[in-house]
Amino acid sequence: MEYRHLGNSGLKVSTLSFGSWVTFKAQVDLPLAVKMMQTAYDAGVNFFDNAEVYANGASEEIMGDALKKLSWSRDSFTVSSKAFWGGQLPTQKGLSRKHLTDACHAALRRLKVDYLDLFFCHRPDESTPIEETVRTMSDLIHQGKVLYWGTSEWTAQQIMEAYSVARQYGLIPPTMEQPEYNMFRRDKVESDFRRLYTEIGLGTTIWSPLASGLLTGKYNRGIPKASRVNLPGYGWLKQGFESEEGQEKIRKAGALQLIADEIGHSLTNMSLAWCAANPNVSTIILGASKLSQLEENLKALEALPALTAEVMEKIELILDNKPAPPVQF
Ligand code: NDP
């Protein structure tokens, strides 16, 4: 395993990490979660990602039960939660001081830990003053309940605003952002955030590196029965795969498969290694519904040396997806 600094913080996270969206509860029960987390940990993974909204808290409960069973030394791993969607009541959602505090306490209870290493604002909340959110995150850190705070799917401008407010009032600024990043979704990580890496030392914990499985090639011959798009509640994802845009991605996955064959790695591992080739990616959060998938994905960094400039250029031609110009703020 390789370790990278989370932005300009002192924390070193494994380049490959493990998350539980969709999978824990719906596809992965406690015994399998224990096996998967142990497999990841044995491979050097030291970051496990979660959120209050995943399976309405059940994902954190499973991870917490697994952590208890595994009884790893607390100083050998990091675990996260994200707050935004905690329930239907007005007090249970968004980024108010009230909800962030309740969400943090609930995550600590479910994950059975004394502190969260990483705590994310899962989405921006235009209805809460940014100072309230930054001050609350800063307070949770001062209270010892959180070590680093960050954002997820915020714009460059929103992150910069949080940073500026923190600097203005002597508060703790965000350390990391959790954006989607994969061969099909690149603009934020490659363009919008470009100045943030150098100017505020932003780290990134990137999600859906395989575009929900499209970049494994498993959808190239139709939708397999046992895949996340057939789970109850994921019809929106299936519709996306069946749309014109989804079909175009599947066609590209077919073409990328030929390059993967040429370099002698699976398309899955070539796609994950492609994410790792970006030095502004601090960690790639892997998702897996089966132990065998995780075992394969944990070998992804072996494909990194095969991604020569020539191979990257070939991939680029297929993606034909030049990043947009940077956002001004
Ligand atoms: P991926 O894009 O890597 O998709 C993972 C899914 O792809 C698996 O569950 C599995 O689905 C399929 N898959 C993975 N590996 C293989 C393989 N080797 N062979 C065949 N199929 C495979 O990542 P996720 O979308 O799961 O995202 C990863 C993590 O990122 C999440 O767990 C979560 O922690 C985080 N995340 C954060 C978000 C945010 O808003 N901040 C949003 C989404 C995710 P199946 O078997 O069901 O087909």
pLDDT digit string, tens, across residues 262-283: 999 999 999 999 999 999 999 9
Q: Whose CA is nearest to atom 18 of ligand 1?
A: 293
| Local confidence band at 2 (pLDDT 50, 70, 90 cut-offs) | very high
Residues marked as catalytic: 54
pLDDT digit string, tens, across residues 146-169: 999 999 999 999 999 999 999 999
Angstrom distance (rounded) from CA 96 to CA 129 = 8
CA atoms within 13 A on the CB side of 182: 22
User: Ligand 1 center to residue 210 CA distance, Å?
Assistant: 7
Our mutation pick for probing the ligand 1 site, out of 54, 151, 153, 208, counting the most ligand atoms within 8 A of Cβ, is 208
Q: Where are the alpha helices (DSSP H) in the chain?
A: 30-42, 58-70, 97-111, 130-142, 156-169, 187, 194-199, 235-242, 244-263, 267-276, 291-297, 309-319
Show me where the domains of the chain are located.
3-216+267-305
Which has the closest alpha carbon to 281: 176, 170, 128, 155? Answer: 176
Q: Are 60 and 81 in contact (CB under 8 A)?
A: yes
Q: Which residues pair with 3 in a beta bridge?
A: 14
pLDDT at position 320, please? 83
Do the bridges between strand 78-83 and strand 116-121 make them parallel or antiparallel, or are there none, so unpaired? parallel
Q: Which residues form ligand 1's pocket by a CB distance below 6 Å?
A: 19-23, 49, 152-153, 178, 207-213, 216, 218, 227-228, 268, 285-289, 293, 296-297
pLDDT at position 321, please? 58
| Local confidence band at 324 (pLDDT 50, 70, 90 cut-offs) | very low
CA atoms within 13 A on the CB side of 45: 28
pLDDT digit string, tens, across residues 54-87: 999 999 999 999 999 999 999 999 999 999 999 9
pLDDT at position 325, please? 46
Which has the closest alpha carbon to 19: 288, 312, 328? Answer: 288
Our mutation pick for probing the ligand 1 site, out of 27, 182, 210, 282, counting the most ligand atoms within 8 A of Cβ, is 210
Q: Whose CA is nearest to atom 48 of ligand 1?
A: 227
pLDDT at position 97, please? 98
pLDDT digit string, tens, across residues 23-57: 999 999 999 999 999 999 999 999 999 999 999 99
User: Ligand 1 center to residue 319 CA distance, Å?
Assistant: 20
State yes or no: pLDDT of 328 exceeds 50: no
Fold that domain 3-216+267-305 belongs to in CATH: TIM Barrel (3.20.20)
Angstrom distance (rounded) from CA 209 to CA 239 = 20
User: Ligand 1 center to residue 13 CA distance, Å?
Assistant: 19
User: Ligand 1 center to residue 267 CA distance, Å?
Assistant: 15
pLDDT digit string, tens, across residues 173-221: 999 999 999 999 999 999 999 999 999 999 999 999 999 999 999 999 9
User: Of ligand 1's atoms, which has the minimum distance to the CA of residue 23?
Assistant: 9
pLDDT at position 158, please? 98
Angstrom distance (rounded) from CA 183 to CA 317 = 12
Q: Whose CA is nearest to atom 26 of ligand 1?
A: 287
Backbone angles phi, psi at 15, to 5 degrees: -60, -30
Locus of tokens 């996340």: 228
The CA-to-CA distance between both ends of the chain, in Å, stands at 36
User: Of ligand 1's atoms, which has the minimum distance to the CA of residue 296?
Assistant: 18
pLDDT at position 323, please? 41
User: Ligand 1 center to residue 22 CA distance, Å?
Assistant: 8
Angstrom distance (rounded) from CA 279 to CA 307 = 14
Q: Whose CA is nearest to atom 24 of ligand 1?
A: 208
Query: Alpha carbon of 204 to those of 92, 93, 130, 266, 288: distances in Å?
Result: 27, 24, 21, 25, 20
Q: Which residues pair with 298 in a beta bridge?
A: none
Region 133-137: mean pLDDT is 98
Check residues 112 and 324 and name the one with the higher pLDDT: 112
Q: Whose CA is nearest to atom 9 of ligand 1?
A: 288
User: Of ligand 1's atoms, which has the minimum distance to the CA of residue 297?
Assistant: 18
pLDDT at position 138, please? 98
User: Of ligand 1's atoms, which has the minimum distance to the CA of residue 228?
Assistant: 47
User: Ligand 1 center to residue 199 CA distance, Å?
Assistant: 31
Q: Whose CA is nearest to atom 7 of ligand 1?
A: 213
For residue 64, which amino acid is it?
G
Radius of gyration of the CA atoms of the chain, in A: 19
Averaged pLDDT of the chain: 96
